[in-house]
Amino acid sequence: MSDRDEPGTIGRRVQQLRADRGLTQRQLAEPAYSPAYISTLEAGRVRASDEALRHIADRLGVAFEELATGRPAHLVTDLRLGLTEAQRVLAVGDTDAAAGQFTGLLAEATGHGLAEERAAALIGLGDCGLDAGELDIARGHFEQAEQVLTAAGAPLPARAPAVRGRAVSHYLAGELRYAVYLLESALDELNRGGLHDPDALLLLYASVIGPYMDMGAHARAAQAAEYALALAPQAGDPALVARMHRSVARTLLAEGRVAEADASLAKAAELYRQLQIRTELANCHWMRGYVYAQNGDLARAEAEMREAQTMLTAQRATLYTSQVAVELADVLHRRGKSDEAAALLHEVLSDLSSERGALHSAAAHRLLGIIAEDSRDTEAAEEHYVRALSLLERAGAVGDLADLCRLLGDLLRRTGRVEAALDAYRTGLGHRTAPGTTTLGPAPAQPPL
């Protein structure tokens, strides 16, 4: 057995169990072994064979695994059942209860030296942190999980969920380039190294689509979406397939394929309903609202986004709730409800910052600037545009930067500051003419599809 304890530890365990049961060395040894052999084993001077340990375990009335490792029988199975239950609790939206379960499981797995289960508990805690918007805490859990798996010699496919978690925490914090770097590096290593695990590849390709889109790297996002769609039939995890459909919908929409985007979201929503993953189901309502908004169906967009907001609020997913509120405010503004939109934006800005939801914080300031312009408050509008510009420059969100520079330039021109307006336009043109892919380096190696 590869992970059995050292001979001295096993020897002391045998001696303690034998004494507890009131057996002599002869009674423990017979009929297959001699008392001298048991004496040598208890002194830690011999490494017992599996056959010998099975004989001794049977005489002592304990499981072979417990004798060889000190772990109670069925411990690993019980831990994995506990992890599955904690994931179910997180899926239905009870983040606090799930975090408590993962914490207990982490302590037990750590106490028994079980690397795989310890990493799974850390990843679960990281996912709880993402749902709660505690990005630094989440990132720490994902990093620790990756370190545990690396020390245990786990291959990259097994580490992929931890890598993805780290990348998502950086992405939500507005660190787009680093998120892309983490995901692309892992994809390249998987594909070049022949580690063609469909679940790991699908997880990473689906996760990189969002950062690509926000960086303006639409061609690379579309390519990742095509790979994800091709990998989906090979994947064994329906939650991964559902997440992929939700991510791919964004690229389909960018290409004007609205019906296909809506169909992908419908598939994702159905899978999430079957799995009862309420946070992801809420995100599907959010994304469908986005699709409807882009297609001009504002009433349905508002209904979908309000449903998403209600679900996320109930689950106390504070960061995601704030993000969907920004997009709901945009729909409200477009429907002529600007006062309600502004009030909603001011409310959520207290939950967003440059380190936490930077892109949606910038979107909130951009929309507040537009609303201020509509009410002829140019000073407030300029202040909001400049704050949004700072956030987007820090995040490297190229496509949004170009649009914001146009808004700021138009405002400056209308207020007579022509030279400052020209500077804003030039900045915007610089971002518009530089495709997002040119800032990313070579694309990862392609998977064998």
**pLDDT at residue 110, as a whole number:** 92
Residues of the chain where predicted confidence (pLDDT) is lower than 70: 1-3, 73, 272-277, 315-316, 399, 431-441, 448-449
Model's pTM, two decimal places? 0.74
Q: Are the CB atoms for 78 and 88 separated by under 8 Å?
A: no
- Token pair recorded at residue 127: 């996912």
**pLDDT at residue 274, as a whole number:** 66
**pLDDT at residue 432, as a whole number:** 54
**pLDDT at residue 287, as a whole number:** 82
**pLDDT at residue 3, as a whole number:** 66
Q: Are the CB atoms for 196 and 202 separated by under 8 Å?
A: no
**pLDDT at residue 259, as a whole number:** 80
**pLDDT at residue 122, as a whole number:** 97
**pLDDT at residue 245, as a whole number:** 83
**pLDDT at residue 73, as a whole number:** 61
- What distances in angstroms separate CA 360 from CA 162, 216, 243, 379, one per listed residue? 25, 16, 21, 22
d(CA 349, CA 347): 6
**pLDDT at residue 127, as a whole number:** 92
**pLDDT at residue 381, as a whole number:** 93
d(CA 347, CA 138): 24
Over residues 63-76, the pLDDT tens digits come to 787 788 777 767 77
**pLDDT at residue 335, as a whole number:** 94
